[in-house]
């Protein structure tokens, strides 16, 4: 039985398995530039974050209707349940869809229809986090935040993702301040490929959790700050290996992050693309880095502690 855990770093678009991509392409009369599932899966070979993002955004084209987003989210929840997930804080990238002419209502309506039955179907509680694409203009992020106002009862927070290097958190200071004024929680990808200073900038914007954050280890003062503030890191080991932020799983800095006293969590990022869901990440760490059962339990406990669940619910789950 997999350990009960929360998943805090999961892009719903990154759960699009090749089989579902073909099903949705067929349903929507779209011809993919691949003829078979195996051929598509063979394209899941990446050299860096951008090489992955190119395929990730190209395949979002199959997501057209509310039902498509519901089916995608249901498929993730079914897999998550089998991996021991009891609570999921799920990212979505509205601009990846609105830029293609898909209305925001369709995206949020489709995803939330699946979230609405997750507790009854799988015993999984859920939160939804809306990410801004940092390689698009900050003004567009602000427009996206404003467009989402009618849906804010369904969105717990905002995040920042997509191509990191050259797109520092400070560029999004205004939109993050506006989101905070609306009562939204703040997270941001930082220190995946980008330098430690991007993590510092994110903290200075009031971000409560750092997504990835592995490059903090290059800056001892930053590590001390993250430890003192107990800022969680949502680390994604299989993603880091597949996107070549880390050479091999045996080289992954997760044990060093834990040893530094940081609140480390383990997550899957884009599991359809990186070869495994969240418990597969725990198992890869256990196997290649010889984590002890006690360390794995600590990581699972951290995942609830780092969540945006209320304190009494965290207590029940840990
Ligand atoms: N979007 C989806 N996955 C991502 C990642 N690992 N980093 C940045 N943006 C992303
Ligand atoms: Zn991510």
Say how many Å lie between the CA of residue 312 and the centre of ligand 1: 31
> Does the CB atom of residue 161 touch ligand 1 within 6 A?
yes
CA distance 300 to 278: 11
What are the sequence ranges of the domains in the chain? 5-317
Residues whose Cβ atom is located within 5 A of ion ligand 2:
269
Query: What is the reported pLDDT for 80?
Result: 98
ipTM > 0.95 for the complex: yes
Q: Do 269 and 11 contact (CB within 8 A), yes or no?
A: yes
Binned average pLDDT, 10 residues per bin, the chain of 318 residues: 96 98 98 95 96 97 98 98 98 98 98 98 98 98 98 98 98 98 98 98 98 98 98 98 98 98 98 98 98 97 98 95
CA-CA distance, 259 to 246, in Å (whole number)?
18
In words, the CATH class of domain 5-317 is: alpha beta
What is the number of the ligand closest to the CA of 15?
Answer: 1
Closest CA to 301 of 284, 282, 285: 282
Per-residue model confidence (pLDDT) at position 229: 98
At residue 234's C-alpha, the angle toward residues 231 and 239, to 5°, is 155
**Number of C-beta neighbours around residue 87 at 10 A:** 25
The answer to whether 198 touches 221, Cβ cutoff 8 Å, is no
């Amino acid at each position: 039985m997999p350990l009960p855990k929360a998943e805090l770093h999961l892009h719903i678009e990154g759960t699009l398995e090749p089989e579902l991509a073909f099903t949705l392409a067929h349903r929507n009369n779209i011809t993919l530039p691949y003829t078979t599932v195996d051929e598509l899966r063979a394209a899941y070979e990446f050299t860096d974050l951008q090489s992955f993002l190119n395929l990730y955004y190209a395949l979002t084209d199959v997501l057209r209707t509310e039902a498509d987003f519901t089916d995608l989210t249901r498929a993730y929840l079914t897999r998550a349940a089998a991996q021991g997930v009891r609570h999921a804080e799920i990212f979505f990238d509205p601009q990846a869809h609105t830029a293609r002419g898909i209305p925001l209502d369709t995206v949020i309506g489709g995803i939330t229809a699946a979230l609405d039955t997750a507790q009854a179907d799988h015993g999984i509680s859920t939160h939804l986090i809306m990410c801004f694409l940092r390689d698009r203009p900050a003004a567009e992020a602000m427009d996206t935040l404003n467009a989402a106002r009618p849906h804010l009862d369904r969105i717990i927070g905002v995040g920042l993702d997509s191509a990191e290097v050259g797109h520092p958190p400070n560029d999004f200071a205004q939109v993050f301040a506006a989101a905070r004024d609306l009562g939204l929680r703040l997270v941001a990808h930082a220190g995946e490929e980008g330098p430690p200073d991007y993590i510092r900038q994110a903290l200075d914007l009031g971000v409560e959790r750092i997504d990835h954050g592995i490059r903090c280890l290059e800056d001892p003062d930053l590590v001390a700050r993250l430890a003192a503030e107990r800022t969680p890191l949502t680390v994604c080991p299989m993603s880091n290996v597949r996107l070549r932020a880390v050479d091999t799983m045996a080289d992954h800095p997760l044990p060093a992050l834990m040893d530094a006293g940081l609140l480390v969590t383990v997550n899957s990022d884009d599991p359809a693309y990186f070869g495994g869901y969240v418990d597969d990440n725990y198992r890869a760490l256990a196997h290649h880095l010889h984590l002890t059962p006690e360390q794995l339990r600590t990581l699972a406990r951290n995942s609830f502690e780092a969540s945006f669940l209320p304190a009494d619910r965290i207590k029940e789950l840990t």
